[in-house]
Amino acid sequence: MSFELETLLKRLHAAQQRFHAGGSADELGELLDPDIRWTVPGHNAIAGRYAGIEEVLRYFERRRALAADTFRMHVREILTGRRNHIAALTDGTALIRRRSERWSTLGLYEFRRERLRACWLLPLDAEQFDRIWSVDVPG
């Protein structure tokens, strides 16, 4: 089961990378369960609880806009579970406010029937994460 989850997570991350580089949301949307829940803690422009494919995709669009299509994920380590959960220690990089930024998160993912059902994003340095993402969407 852990190999299947790792494969699904890699597909999700690849779709996210293409989307954040300016690609279509179609592929990404197909990997999300209709009941998807995405949680980002903190006090910043992307923090919140997002429910359903449309809300989650709007979250991705907001993140992409704030990073001006420069957001990239660099997976350092994948931690597998026994059933439907997998975690990834991931560094993020982006050019935000014309500054090169880097942060680290642990993403806990839950899959159901080959689609992502939930994600809980846990920044390793919450203050840094809030500082980086406390920006307005460009007009």
State both tokens at 65: 């806009």
Residue 60 lies in a domain: yes
Q: Residue 100 CB: number of other CB atoms within 10 A?
A: 9
Number of structural domains (the chain) is 1
Residue 139 lies in a domain: no
Domain residue limits at 70: 2-133
Q: What is the CATH number of the domain that holds 85?
A: 3.10.450.50
Tens of each residue's pLDDT in the chain, 139 residues: 466 889 999 999 999 999 999 999 999 999 999 999 999 999 999 999 999 999 999 999 999 999 999 999 999 999 987 789 999 999 999 999 899 999 999 999 999 988 999 999 999 999 999 999 997 655 4
Residue 138 lies in a domain: no
State both tokens at 77: 């380590």
